[in-house]
Structure 1
């Protein structure tokens, strides 16, 4: 169950990052509440996952999901560059997260 919590935490991190961008373009109470909810959920589920998983592993996977997801959403939703080098290095982050799952308890 810890890995499920960790994935949810990473998704919450991605949502929070998207809401930062939304808040910059639309300064509203809804935007800030969604931003706070995304990061709050992210930290809650990260903490739950760390009851079982080692801190270093959980943090590495959480930041990897958040960083790769944020960059992918930036390319898909906001027209950020999609060149081959960028996609290659994002693939390395995703492969590293999967690799950590495969070699961990």
Structure 2
């Protein structure tokens, strides 16, 4: 269950990053609310997963999901570069996260 919680935490982290971008564009209270809720939920699920998983592993995977997911969402939603080199490095981040799962 800790791994599921960690993945959910990463997904909320991705949503929070999207809300940061939305807040810069819209500057409304809904964006602030969703931003706060997303990161709050992300921290709650991360904390729950850290009851079982080592802190270093949990944090690395959480940030990996957030960083790579944020980059992918930037490509899909905001027209950021889809250069093949960028995709390779995103794959490397995800590969490292999977590697941490395999050795934990």
The two structures have a TM-score, normalised by structure 2, of 0.98
Give runs of aligned pairs for residues 14-29 of structure 1, distance below 5 A: 14-29=14-29
Give structure 1 stretches of 5+ with no counterpart: none
The two structures have a TM-score, normalised by structure 1, of 0.97
CA drift at 1:103: 1.5
**Structure 2: distance between partners of 1:60 and 1:34:** 24
CA drift at 1:89: 0.4
Give structure 2 stretches of 5+ with no counterpart: none
Q: Counterpart of 1:32?
A: 32
Q: Counterpart of 1:92?
A: 92
1:44-82 deviations in Å (ceiling 9; x for gaps): 000000000010000000000000000000011100011
**Structure 2: distance between partners of 1:77 and 1:101:** 29
Cα-Cα RMSD:
0.6
- Please give the secondary structure, in 2, of the residue aligned with 1:81: coil
Runs of 4+ in 1 over 2 A off after TM superposition: none
The count of corresponding residues between Structure 1 and Structure 2 is: 104
